[in-house]
Amino acid sequence: MAKRCTGTNVDGQACSAQPQPGQSVCLWHDPARAQDRALWRRQGGHGKSNAARAAKRLPADVKDTLGVLLRTLGGLEQGDVEPARATAIAAVARAIVTTHETHEIEARIAALETADRHTNERRHG
């Protein structure tokens, strides 16, 4: 099983990121990188942006994917993540999001079909 960061997220849950090489914490939980993180947050915009509001509505699995992508971007900018690895992570993240979207669309179609069936039964039943 892969080693995980020993830090905890703001919601109190264990961080699911991989730790930095030779450390027990990921980039986001490394106390030595606090100034870097503050800079990245300023560069990344504010929590009131449309993107931030949309992210709050995402299911947990898609939020986790977004978190991985943001950590990957930070690592890429710092030179800690190889571009090929970032590309692979992005491809997997895209597959996760596409799978989630497909599942959501299928569930909506099934609900519409059920509602239509009930409507037809009431009309003809």
Domain boundaries, the chain: 1-43, 48-124
Q: What is the pLDDT of residues 59-104, one digit of tens each?
A: 677 778 888 888 898 998 899 999 999 999 889 888 888 888 898 8
Of 1-5, 20-24, 57-61, 121-125, the range with the lowest mean pLDDT is 57-61
Nearest CA-CA partner of 45 in 8, 31, 53: 53
pLDDT of residue 66: 82
Which amino acid is residue 117, in one-letter code?
R
pLDDT of residue 96: 83
- Token match 């939980």: residue? 29
Nearest CA-CA partner of 6 in 30, 33, 39, 41: 30
Confidence of residue 27 (pLDDT cuts 50, 70, 90): confident
Fill in the DSSP letter of residue 13.
P
